[in-house]
A and B are shown apart, each in its own frame.
Chain A
Amino acid sequence: MVKVREDVSIGFVVGN
């Protein structure tokens, strides 16, 4: 499971 904030910009790397 990965968590990411809803306000990150396009292009943000969530995980590898």
Chain B
Amino acid sequence: VMYTLTSLSPAESAFDMDRSSGALVVARQLDRETRPEHRLEVRALDTSTSSNPQSSAVLVRVDITDVNDNAPRWERDPVVIAVPEDAAVGAAVGNFSATDADAGPNGELRYFLDSVEPENGRSKFAVDRLTGSLTLLEGVDFESVARYTLVVSVKDQAVNE
């Protein structure tokens, strides 16, 4: 029996096949984010006889599973948010939003407020871990402090974040 491989997906095949053993081998770098599945046709052909060769084919779907190869990305950096000094305590005054191309926990994001400058502003702001929403916890006063600098980080939920 001899084996042949045909890619049914439009792009060039990322796989090769050993014609004699039928081993399916990775021939190009895979990337789930670009192409999560590959459809192939493997055909087995008997070669012992030249008079009436027979063949049959099987469809193979190769699912590419995710690894955490993308870090979260911020849409903007820095983010500038204007908060009126009469903003109500408890009001959502901004939203932090990052994206991650990976799947499942590898792309699931959590937001953290790392630091606030000046430091006495630490008690004034809270960032929701899940949504990235920025909430005012205490009143602000333009005449006392006109600008706060917040460092917000985002992490994916992979084991190797």
Contacts and interface: CB of A to CB of B under 8 A. Distances in A.
Q: Do A and B come from one complex?
A: yes
Mostly, the A contact residues are loop
Interface residues of B, number: 23
Contacts, number: 62
Residue of A2, A3, A11 with most partner-chain B CB within 10 A: A2
Contact of A2 (B27, B60, B67, B69): B60
Contact of B63 (A1, A10, A11, A12): A1
Interface residues of A, number: 16
B32 interface: yes
A10 B30 CA distance: 9
B160 to A, nearest CB: 11
Given A2-B62, A3-B63, A8 B21 contact: no
B29 interface: yes
Contact of B61 (A2, A8, A11, A13): A2
A16 B69 CA distance: 28
Interface of B: 15, 21-33, 60-67, 69
Interface of A: 1-16
